[in-house]
């Protein structure tokens, strides 16, 4: 009976952990199969242990080139979307202006639209204008769909900020520019960072919109997509695992630093 009571009490914990396992299982598979030595073109069945791919991650043609291109695109898209989005977020959170509803709708719609619809319509535009598909068309598209997410993240932060802090700065004879630089911006920084991080992740991992706007340019997700048809090199798993490990380490590091800082302040 004791077990039944325990089980009942912890049912939600067990169910939650099972969901967590479901979420993490593919990552485990990706990691394990980065040490595989597949027979044939596809890396879907386990053969034998081998670290070959880890010692030669760029051993497949075009793989590291596509990775570099994706990183480059993600950096520029993050920069563009964060700059444009932060400006919009400040206008929305801090000023009155006409046509507020229309502006909100224009920000909201790209997030509520299936990617394939935006991708298809963008391609129609580019085809009609006779634009050369490639790096620039991808970048334009990425900035477009990352923008709304940056706006939402930054706006939430700026709206929750105490306006009396800025008034206090001005009472202490800080000019508008100084107030913005020394008070507003530091408080809004976490929101801007969250927006930028989100934009980077969205841009780096985007496939659907990129597939429509890339022409013959190959980003990393497009390389993976292509390899799913032609044959999946183990190196894909190596890069997937390495990104996962590096990102988790960075997050854990920032958590440790964050908790140290709060401790030293207290």
Partner 1 sequence: MTTLTEAPPPLTPTAPEPAPPRRRGRLTPYWLLLPGLLWLVVFFALPMIYQASTSVQTGSLEEGYKVTWHVATYWDALTAYWPQFLRSVAYAAAATVLCLLLGYPLAYLIAFRAGRWRNLIMVLVIAPFFTSFLIRTLAWKTILADGGPLVGALNTLHVLDVTNWLGWTAGDRVLATPLAVVCGLTYNFLPFMILPLYTSLERIDGRLHEAAGDLYARPFTTFRKITFPLSMPGVVSGTLLTFIPATGDYVNADLLGSTDTRMAGNVIQTQFLRVLDYPTAAALSFILMAAILVMVTLYIRKSGTEDLV
Q: Which of residues 110-139 bind partner 1 (CB under 8 A)?
A: 110-118, 120-125, 127-128
d(CA 227, CA 204): 18
Binder of partner 1 out of 2, 3, 5, 22 (CB under 8 A): 22
- Write out the binding residues for partner 1, residues 204-263 only, by CB under 8 A: 205, 207-208, 211-212, 220-221, 224-225, 228, 232, 236-237, 240-241, 243-244, 246-248, 251-252, 254-255, 258
Q: Which of 206, 199, 216, 208 is nearest to 121 (CA)?
A: 208
Contact 222, 134 (CB under 8 A): no
CB burial readout 116-148, b (16+ within 10 A) else e: eebbeebbeebeeeeeebebebbbbbbbbbbbb
Separation CA 117–CA 109 (nearest Å): 12
Residue 4 Cβ, how far from partner 1 at the closest point, in Å? 15
In the list 2, 13, 61, 266, the residue contacting partner 1 (rule: CB under 8 A) is 13
Which CB sits closer to partner 1, 59 or 243?
Answer: 243
Which x/- pattern over 162-191 shows residues binding partner 1 (rule: CB under 8 A)?
A: -x------------x-------------xx
Q: Which is nearer to partner 1, 174 or 243 (CB)?
A: 243
Within residues 26-65, the interface with partner 1 by CB under 8 A covers 26-27, 29-30, 33, 44-45
Distances (CA, A) of 256 to 134, 194, 196, 197: 41, 18, 21, 19
CB of residue 24 to partner 1, shortest distance in Å: 6
Return the residue of 60, 143, 188, 234 that touches partner 1, per CB under 8 A: 143
Q: What DSSP assignment string belongs to 125-162?
A: HHHHHTPPPSHHHHHHHHHHHHHHHHHHHHHHHHHTS-
d(CA 59, CA 68): 15
Which residues in 68-97 contact partner 1 (CB under 8 A)?
A: 84-85, 87-88, 90-91, 93-97
């Amino acid at each position: 009976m004791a077990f039944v009571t325990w089980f009942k009490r912890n049912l939600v914990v067990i169910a939650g952990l099972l969901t967590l396992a479901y979420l993490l299982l593919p990552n485990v598979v990706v990691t394990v199969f980065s040490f595989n030595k597949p027979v044939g073109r596809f890396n879907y069945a386990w053969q034998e242990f081998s670290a070959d791919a880890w010692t030669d991650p760029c051993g497949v043609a075009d793989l590291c080139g596509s990775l570099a291109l994706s990183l480059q695109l993600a950096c520029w898209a993050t920069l563009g979307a964060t700059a444009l989005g932060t400006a919009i977020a400040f206008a929305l959170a801090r000023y009155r202006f006409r046509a507020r509803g229309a502006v909100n709708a224009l920000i909201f719609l790209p997030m509520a639209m299936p990617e394939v619809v935006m991708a298809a319509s963008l391609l129609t535009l580019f085809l009609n204008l006779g634009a050369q598909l490639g790096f620039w068309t991808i970048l334009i598209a990425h900035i477009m769909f990352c923008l709304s997410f940056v706006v939402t993240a930054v706006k939430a932060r700026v709206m929750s900020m105490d306006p009396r802090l800025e008034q206090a700065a001005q009472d202490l004879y800080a000019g508008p520019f100084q107030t913005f630089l020394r008070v507003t911006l530091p408080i809004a920084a976490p929101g801007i960072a969250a927006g930028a991080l989100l934009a980077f992740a969205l841009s780096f991992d985007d496939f659907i919109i990129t597939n429509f706007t890339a022409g013959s340019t190959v980003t990393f997700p497009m390389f993976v997509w292509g390899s799913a048809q032609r044959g999946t090199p183990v190196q894909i798993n190596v890069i997937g695992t390495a990104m996962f490990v590096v990102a988790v380490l960075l997050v854990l590091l920032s958590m440790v630093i964050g908790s140290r800082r709060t401790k030293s302040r207290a």
